[in-house]
Amino acid sequence: MMDPNLILFLILAICMFGGFISLFIFLGKRAEKQEIDLFKKLSQKLGFSYCESDTINLENKIAPLGSDFAKSPVNPLKQMVYGIEGENSIYLFNRDAPPVGSAKHGVSPSWSVCLIEVGQSFGFEAVIFHRGFSAGFSKLKEYKMALEKLREVEVDKPEFAKPQPNRFGITLIGDKYILKTDDLTKCQKAVERGMIDIFLKHRQNFKVMGINMMMAVHIKDNLLAVYTDHPSVSLSKVEQFEHLYLFAKEIKEILT
């Protein structure tokens, strides 16, 4: 006959396991509801349309970018906001990818994106991104493989191109932003018109749970994407997405 204490222990263990599963499901549904509410409020604020799934074929549209949030295979696009401004199409959304790394030391890549699609090609490809030093950033390297063919551009701005002290006064080697391109001449013209200044001005407007978000810009063909480039963290406030939209619009203005 089984020990009554063992039976009690098994019952408690099953109840605890069931409780954890229920909590996990509850938290997942709550997070999804919060994201739905976020994008519905954002669509109302901007006067754009809300899409609960990719009925606008955004997946195929972003595929040519080939890196970060556009790299496959990733989880399907869900909630998004879509609108037209003049001749440009605007898309705002969060994008999650399957976990990278081990269960103990892995990260779950997540990006918050403002994508602007213009009528004609910008004429060159360029990307600004953060060369992260921490383990979380290193695990996202596979998402930037498509950028290896681009050439790095020297930027004569210490706050952009050189490591900066963090809030504890510590400077980490490799902790800096990088600009890469496939056309040095056209990219340099964009820099001279203020592309880096706009980037430095706006990248301070994004903080989640006390963390200053790393940002990225990708210009290719007729697409301009401005997005968060931070492991496992995405934006969660309407105001932050409005800043992201303004950020992208100002970059677009100097390119057209």
Smallest CA-to-CA distance from 61 within 208, 179, 224 is with 224
Question: Using an 8 Å Cβ cutoff, are 122 and 143 in contact?
Answer: no
Q: What's the whole-number mean pLDDT along residues 103-118? A: 86
125-145 per-position pLDDT tens digit: 999 998 775 666 777 888 888
Token readout for 29 is 């549904």
Q: Is the pLDDT of residue 63 over 80?
A: yes
Question: Using an 8 Å Cβ cutoff, are 82 and 49 in contact?
Answer: yes
d(CA 176, CA 160) in angstroms, rounded, equals: 7
Confidence band for 27, pLDDT divided at 50, 70 and 90:
very low
Q: What's the confidence (pLDDT) of residue 172?
A: 58
Q: What's the confidence (pLDDT) of residue 32?
A: 57
Confidence band for 218, pLDDT divided at 50, 70 and 90:
very high
* Mean pLDDT over the full length of the chain: 83
Confidence band for 24, pLDDT divided at 50, 70 and 90:
very low
d(CA 31, CA 75) in angstroms, rounded, equals: 16
Write out 175-219 in H/E/C secondary structure.
CEEEEEECCHHHHHHHHHCCHHHHHHHHHHHCEECCEECCEEEEE
Q: What's the confidence (pLDDT) of residue 98?
A: 86
Smallest CA-to-CA distance from 205 within 233, 161, 235, 164 is with 235
Q: What's the whole-number mean pLDDT along residues 16-37? A: 55
Confidence band for 75, pLDDT divided at 50, 70 and 90:
confident
**């999650």: which residue's tokens?**
96
Rounded to two decimals, the pTM is 0.82
Instruction: Give, as one character, the DSSP assignment of residue 6.
Output: H
Q: What's the whole-number mean pLDDT along residues 2-21? A: 59
Q: Is the dihedral of CA 29, 34, 39, 44 positive or negative?
A: positive
Token readout for 175 is 């902790």
Confidence band for 165, pLDDT divided at 50, 70 and 90:
low
More confident residue, 4 or 99: 99
Give the angle 22-23-24 at the CA atoms, nearest 5°. 90
Indicate the helix (H) or strand (E) that contains 116.
Answer: strand 110-117
Q: What's the whole-number mean pLDDT along residues 148-152? A: 93
Q: Is the pLDDT of residue 31 over 60?
A: no
